[in-house]
């Protein structure tokens, strides 16, 4: 037992390290006096590593059933090398968050608390003197932190904006119009600690509420810190500029995937020491230590990119809720289409909903119309009505957005003689035909026989990324007549170029834009009206403000409509509402703005709510369906996934696991059901068959207890390469 050992060996101390076992390690601290949350250097195997000291009274509940690993014989216990006193002692509330995340998402505590530290801070070389008495890299970093010039990851309001007001007492920035009554009411309501859902149609002025709430928070207490989370890096430049304008002189740390490792370390330290009052970042930023955290804002809270899909499969939104409650802070969840999880909490009166039902610019929402493709068939991807509408807007000097959520040229390449189609050798799914480089000036030439200019074409697997060349002829029958089937954005771009030769067309997707900065540059082109038609994927749907966008055409949403994933309707509805929100945001485009959706299923229930732009009506209907089916948010789910080369064996073992778990649950009267095994999509990846079983329960504690049992089994079947996903978003 821990206590005995501690009395027996008072110099023992428990240390978390980034290693794949659940417990902590014991070290001898010798004469050192170490406190809970202190960072240390310790030996591990033949290396020296970063460690985090955990006091004995804080051990309980750190990880389910995890006691320090004590197999080491007492005489082999090693010494703590040295304390790293320059690193700020970890805040107890932050340690709580790390412990909760580890327990809830079933990961070793050390891999979260230590393993998610910026890499630069985990690298002990940075704390070492190269020559005696000389400055370490860490010293230099601290100097940079104290020095207010030359910091690319920091924004200070002053630099970013002169126009806005910052003086105390001024209710809003001078450059911004006054808050409208809905905005003032919402801002006023966000007073007491708690969770608030800011449900506002696109363009209703949610961002203004965020900046004002942050300003009020930072102005009211000298130390209070604010965390702002955004789903994608592409959104940050615009957003950062707006916060900087609203908060002149305030230290803002922008954490995203494109900052250098050293910079990340510096920003982390600035947040951990309280210097940065505002942190803006993507999902990982929820883990940032912020000792004076008082307000969290999660923009587009429904967005699936808040869920990490590998390693610790956490939901940053859910952790933000937990963290808020643990520190007694305020959380604002903003969205035009809140998630079903959030609606359910609103119904249970756990969250308070604040609505912004009108656009802040006063423009009415652009009406949405369906085009029945049975009556007006899409030729080359576009219906006649869409072509005519595009032509009219272009003639009028307006901009058009054509949305198709499918990358590449065509989803599959097929042989018209024998029916062969291109497939990934690893995954077995269809490979997507991609054109390399820019579109040709004569799209018809490029369009139909890709093998005419083979070098420019590639087949790409969208699951594993594997690329291959396009065969000159059918590998099965030798016929040279291979044709692309279906349509991706590249092909649609060709159609548009052929149909509207005078128009300036810009395509935006993961192939043209790989970095946030690049996206920001493309967005600016649209805003400067250097582009007439924008054609693109999901990337375009979010957050951007285009003044002249008068028409949005949704080219094809039908594949998503028939997707069997229970979350597919929710996702599609939210995407369509977002895309529709790009039209007619300002007076230049407002009056005539329209949204056209081409579909074969105009009778579908989802479209009824879409046409009425009835977000809460859709949510009610969707929640009713979920409740009837016993699906989340009315039950809790976890997936246990395996990947192994032999399908039959994997299925067999997963079946045994399912039965074992079912029996165990029944014996203990835990209300958990186990289903499966079912194949995942795609079934094969890197030569392994992928399957899962699903656990479902009304009781989270019961579900987690059963997961602990599953982990024992998983440890005995390491060859299956299993992992657990708690609250999976794709089933």
| CB of 361 or CB of 373, closer to ligand ADP | 361
Residue 213 is inside which H or E element, if any?
helix 206-220
User: How many H helices and E strands in the chain?
Assistant: 23, 28
CA torsion sign, 698 to 701 to 707 to 709?
negative
128 binds, among Zn ion, ligand ADP, none (CB under 5 to 8 A by kind): none
- Number of CB atoms found within 10 A of residue 451's CB: 15
Give yes or no for residue 435 binding ligand ADP (CB under 6 A).
Answer: no
* Nearest CA among 76, 161, 84 for reference residue 122: 84
What is the footprint of Zn ion within residues 125-154 (CB under 5 A)? none
CA–CA dist 229, 630 (Å, integer): 31
- Answer for the pair 359, 365: CB distance below 8 angstroms, yes or no: yes
Give yes or no for residue 574 binding ligand ADP (CB under 6 A).
Answer: no
List the structure tokens of 208: 């203004």
Strands 39-44 and 412-415: unpaired
Give the shortest CB-484-to-Zn ion separation in angstroms.
15
Give yes or no for residue 474 binding Zn ion (CB under 5 A).
Answer: yes
| CB of 245 or CB of 383, closer to ligand ADP | 245
CA–CA dist 121, 87 (Å, integer): 9
| CB of 246 or CB of 642, closer to ligand ADP | 246
Give yes or no for residue 527 binding ligand ADP (CB under 6 A).
Answer: no
CA–CA dist 463, 484 (Å, integer): 19
* Contact residue for Zn ion among 59, 145, 332, 415 (CB under 5 A): 415
CA torsion sign, 374 to 378 to 379 to 380?
negative
152 binds, among ligand ADP, Zn ion, none (CB under 5 to 8 A by kind): none
Pick the stretch among 210-218, 372-380, 401-409, 421-429 that binds Zn ion (CB under 5 A): 421-429
Please provide the DSSP assignment of 246-311 as one string: HSTT-EEEEE-TTS-HHHHHHHHHHHHTT--SEEEESGGGGG---TTEEEEEEETTT-GGGB--SS
CA–CA dist 256, 277 (Å, integer): 17
Alpha helices (H) in 43-180, listed in sequence order: 92-104, 109-113, 119-122, 137-146, 157-160
Show the CA angle centred on residue 400, arms to residues 397 and 403, nearest 5°.
Answer: 175
| CB of 202 or CB of 236, closer to ligand ADP | 202
| CB of 188 or CB of 476, closer to Zn ion | 476
Strands 723-726 and 636-644: antiparallel
Give yes or no for residue 423 binding Zn ion (CB under 5 A).
Answer: no
* Contact residue for ligand ADP among 59, 252, 360, 446 (CB under 6 A): 360
Give the shortest CB-340-to-ligand ADP separation in angstroms.
21
| CB of 17 or CB of 235, closer to ligand ADP | 235
Give the shortest CB-164-to-ligand ADP separation in angstroms.
12
| CB of 207 or CB of 685, closer to ligand ADP | 207
* Contact residue for ligand ADP among 29, 107, 199, 206 (CB under 6 A): 206
| CB of 30 or CB of 475, closer to Zn ion | 475
Beta bridge partners of 296: 227, 331
CA–CA dist 398, 273 (Å, integer): 49
| CB of 181 or CB of 220, closer to ligand ADP | 181
* Contact residue for ligand ADP among 95, 99, 101, 179 (CB under 6 A): 179
Q: How many residues bind ligand ADP (CB under 6 A)?
A: 15
Give the shortest CB-681-to-Zn ion separation in angstroms.
12
Give yes or no for residue 464 binding Zn ion (CB under 5 A).
Answer: yes
206 binds, among Zn ion, ligand ADP, none (CB under 5 to 8 A by kind): ligand ADP
- Answer for the pair 369, 595: CB distance below 8 angstroms, yes or no: yes
CA–CA dist 435, 709 (Å, integer): 49
**Site string (115-144) toward ligand ADP, x via CB under 6 A:** ------------------------------
Burial of 99 (0-12, 13-18, 19+ CB in 10 A): buried
* Nearest CA among 563, 429, 403, 565 for reference residue 487: 403
Q: How distant, in Å, are the alpha carbons of 322, 476, 717 from that of 99?
A: 12, 56, 26
Pick the stretch among 186-194, 242-250, 478-486, 646-654 that binds Zn ion (CB under 5 A): 478-486
208 binds, among Zn ion, ligand ADP, none (CB under 5 to 8 A by kind): ligand ADP
Give yes or no for residue 426 binding Zn ion (CB under 5 A).
Answer: yes
Give yes or no for residue 236 binding ligand ADP (CB under 6 A).
Answer: no
Give yes or no for residue 202 binding ligand ADP (CB under 6 A).
Answer: yes
Pick the stretch among 109-117, 140-148, 174-182, 487-495 that binds ligand ADP (CB under 6 A): 174-182
Give yes or no for residue 417 binding Zn ion (CB under 5 A).
Answer: yes
Q: Which residues bind Zn ion (CB under 5 A)?
A: 415, 417-418, 420, 424, 426-427, 461, 463-464, 466, 474, 476-477, 479
Q: Which residues bind ligand ADP (CB under 6 A)?
A: 177, 179-180, 183, 200, 202-208, 360-361, 545
């Amino acid at each position: 037992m821990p206590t005995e050992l501690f009395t027996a060996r008072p110099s023992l101390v428990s240390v978390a390290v980034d290693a794949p076992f659940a417990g902590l390690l014991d070290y001898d601290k010798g004469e050192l006096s170490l406190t809970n949350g202190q960072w240390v250097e310790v030996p591990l195997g033949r290396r020296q590593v970063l460690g985090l000291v955990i006091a004995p009274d804080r051990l309980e509940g750190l990880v389910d059933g995890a006691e320090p690993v004590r197999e080491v014989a007492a005489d082999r216990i090693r010494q703590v090398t040295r304390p790293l006193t320059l690193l700020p002692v970890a805040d107890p509330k932050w340690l709580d968050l790390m412990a909760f995340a580890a327990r809830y998402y079933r990961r070793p505590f050390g891999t979260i608390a230590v393993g998610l530290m910026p890499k630069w801070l985990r690298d002990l070389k940075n704390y070492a003197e190269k020559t005696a008495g000389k400055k370490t890299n860490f010293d230099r970093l601290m100097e940079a932190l104290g020095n207010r010039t030359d910091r690319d990851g920091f924004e200070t309001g002053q630099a970013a904006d002169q126009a806005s007001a910052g003086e105390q007492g001024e209710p809003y920035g001078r450059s911004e119009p006054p808050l409208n009554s809905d905005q003032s009411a919402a801002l006023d309501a966000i007073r007491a600690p708690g969770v608030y859902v800011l449900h506002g149609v696109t363009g209703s002025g949610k961002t203004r509420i965020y900046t004002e709430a942050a300003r009020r928070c930072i102005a009211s207490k000298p130390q209070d810190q604010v965390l702002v989370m955004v789903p994608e890096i592409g959104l940050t430049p615009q957003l950062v500029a707006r916060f900087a304008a609203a908060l002149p002189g305030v230290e803002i740390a922008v954490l995203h995937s494109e900052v250098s490792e050293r910079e990340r370390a510096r920003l982390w330290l600035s947040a951990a020491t309280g210097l940065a009052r505002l942190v803006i970042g993507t999902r990982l930023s929820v883990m940032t230590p912020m000792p004076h955290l008082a307000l969290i804002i999660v923009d587009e809270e429904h967005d699936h990119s808040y869920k990490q899909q590998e390693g610790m499969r956490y939901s940053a939104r859910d952790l933000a809720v937990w963290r808020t409650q643990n520190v007694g802070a305020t959380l604002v969840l903003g969205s035009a289409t809140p998630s079903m999880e959030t609606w359910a909490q609103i119904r249970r009166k756990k969250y308070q909903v604040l609505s912004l039902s009108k656009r802040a610019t006063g423009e009415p929402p652009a009406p949405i119309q369906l085009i029945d493709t049975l009556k007006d068939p899409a030729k080359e991807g576009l219906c006649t009505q869409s072509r005519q509408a595009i032509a009219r807007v272009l003639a009028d000097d307006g901009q058009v957005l054509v949305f198709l959520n499918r990358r590449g040229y065509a989803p599959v390449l097929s042989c018209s003689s024998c029916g062969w189609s291109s497939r990934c050798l690893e995954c077995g799914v269809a490979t997507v035909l991609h054109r390399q480089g820019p579109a040709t000036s004569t799209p018809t030439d490029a369009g139909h026989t890709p093998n005419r200019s083979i070098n420019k074409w590639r087949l790409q697997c969208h699951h594993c990324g594997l690329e291959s060349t396009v065969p000159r002829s059918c590998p099965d029958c030798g016929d040279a007549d291979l044709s692309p089937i279906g349509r991706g954005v590249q092909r649609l771009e060709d159609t548009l170029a052929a149909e509207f030769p005078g128009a300036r067309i810009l395509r935006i997707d993961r192939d043209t834009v790989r970095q946030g900065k690049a996206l920001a540059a493309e967005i600016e082109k649209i805003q400067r009206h250097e582009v007439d038609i924008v054609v693109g994927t999901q990337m375009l749907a979010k957050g951007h403000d285009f003044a002249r966008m008068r028409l949005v055409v949704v080219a094809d949403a039908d594949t998503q409509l028939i997707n069997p994933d229970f979350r597919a309707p929710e996702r599609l509805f939210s995407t369509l509402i977002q895309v529709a929100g790009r039209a007619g945001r300002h007076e230049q485009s407002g009056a005539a703005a329209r949204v056209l959706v081409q579909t074969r299923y105009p009778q579908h229930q989802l479209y009824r709510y879409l046409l009425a732009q009835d977000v809460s009506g859709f949510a009610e209907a969707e929640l009713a369906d979920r409740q009837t089916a016993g699906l989340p948010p009315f039950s809790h789910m976890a997936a246990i996934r395996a990947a192994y080369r032999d399908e039959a064996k994997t299925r067999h073992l997963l079946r045994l696991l399912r039965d074992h778990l079912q029996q165990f649950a029944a014996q203990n009267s835990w209300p958990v059901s186990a289903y499966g095994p079912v194949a995942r999509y795609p079934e094969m990846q890197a030569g392994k068959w992928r399957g899962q079983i699903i656990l479902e329960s009304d009781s989270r504690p019961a579900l987690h207890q059963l997961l602990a049992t599953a982990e024992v089994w998983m440890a005995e079947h390491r060859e299956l390469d299993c992992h657990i996903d708690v609250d999976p978003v794709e089933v």
